[in-house]
Amino acid sequence: EVQLVQSGAEVKKPGESLKISCKGSGYSFTSYWIGWVRQMPGKGLEWMGIIYPGDSDTRYSPSFQGQVTISADKSISTAYLQWSSLKASDTAMYYCVRGNRYGGNPSDAFDIWGQGTMVTVSS
């Protein structure tokens, strides 16, 4: 079964760092783009960025460029989303997603979604 399994919920304080993970299984991890999508409480979906684990080619939405870092470790089929200094406004559900085409590109639709990681930032 193709799936993305994300790390568990996090509660952090403003200014702290955080790295959440997304492990892919059931498919060739290096051959599909992996992205991250934010959903703030009660709000819509936001496209954050995407990485091709095969060569680490990474693209960011202008809104998230410089705010987060997306990476991947293909040896363990895991993608990451990290923050160096969290803000209260980072409180949201974060979904990792898979591009729908083998060897595709950043224009891919997202056909597999992780279960989501809830990040709460509060003092």
Partner 1 sequence: QSALTQPPSASGSPGQSVTISCTGTSSDVGGYNYVSWYQQHPGKAPKLMIYEVSKRPSGVPDRFSGSKSGNTASLTVSGLQAEDEADYYCSSYAGSNGMFGGGTKLTVL
Residues that bind partner 1 (CB under 8 A): 35, 37, 44-47, 49-50, 59-63, 95, 100, 106-111, 113-116
Euclidean distance between CA atoms 115 and 16, whole angstroms: 24
Nearer to partner 1, 42 or 123 (CB): 42
Q: How far is the CB of 96 from partner 1 (least distance, A)?
A: 10
CA dist 21 and 82 (Å) reads 9
Least CB distance to partner 1 at residue 88 (A): 22
Structure tokens at 86: 């969290």
- Closer to partner 1 by CB, 14 or 21: give it: 21
Nearer to partner 1, 17 or 25 (CB): 25
- Identify the CA nearest to 59 among candidates 113, 107, 106: 106
C-beta of 9 vs 17, nearer to partner 1: 9
Residue 107 beta carbon to partner 1: minimum distance, rounded to whole angstroms: 4
Which residue type occupies 8?
G
Among residues 80, 83, 69, which one has the least CA distance to residue 6?
Answer: 80
